[in-house]
Amino acid sequence: MFTVVLLTSPMNAALDPALVESLRNAWGGGDAIWLAPDEAAEFVVDQVPGNRWEVWKDCQAIGVDMVVMPTEGRRKKMLLADMDSTMIQQECIDELADEAGVGPRVKDITARAMNGELDFDGALRERVGLLAGLDVGVIDKVLAERITLMPGGKALLATMKAQGSHAALVSGGFTAFTAQVAAELGFHENRANTLLVSDGFLTGEVGLPILGKQAKVDALAEITKRLGIQESDVIAVGDGANDLGMLHRAGLGVALHAKPVVAAECDVRINFGDLTALLFVQGYRKAEFAA
Looking at the DSSP assignment, which residues form a beta bridge with residue 236?
Answer: 80, 253
> Is a pLDDT exceeding 90 seen at residue 119?
no
User: Would you identify the CATH topology of the domain 76-90+148-291?
Assistant: Rossmann fold (3.40.50)
Across 129-134, average pLDDT: 94
* pLDDT bucket at 153, cuts 50 / 70 / 90: very high
Across 41-70, average pLDDT: 98
Query: Pick the catalytic residue: 65, 84, 94, 121?
Result: 84
Question: Angle 92-100/137-145 helices, nearest 10 degrees?
Answer: 120
Predicted pLDDT of residue 216: 96
> Is a pLDDT exceeding 90 seen at residue 114?
no
- The model's pLDDT over 234-284, given as tens digits with 9 standing for 90+, comes to 999 999 999 999 999 999 999 999 989 999 999 999 999 999 999 999 999
- The model's pLDDT over 159-184, given as tens digits with 9 standing for 90+, comes to 999 999 999 999 999 999 999 999 99
Predicted pLDDT of residue 95: 95
Predicted pLDDT of residue 113: 85
Mean pLDDT of the residues in the chain:
96
> Is a pLDDT exceeding 90 seen at residue 115?
no
For the question of residue 84 being annotated catalytic, the response is yes
| Distances from the Cα of 68 to the Cα of 6, 48, 137, 207, angstroms | 9, 7, 46, 41
The pTM of this model reads 0.95
Residue ranges of domains in the chain: 1-72, 76-90+148-291
| Distances from the Cα of 241 to the Cα of 118, 142, 244, angstroms | 10, 25, 5
- The model's pLDDT over 179-218, given as tens digits with 9 standing for 90+, comes to 999 999 999 999 999 999 999 999 999 999 999 899 999 9
Query: Pick the catalytic residue: 65, 82, 121, 274?
Result: 82
Task: Domain 1-72: give its CATH architecture.
Answer: 2-Layer Sandwich (3.30)
Across 139-153, average pLDDT: 97
For the question of residue 65 being annotated catalytic, the response is no
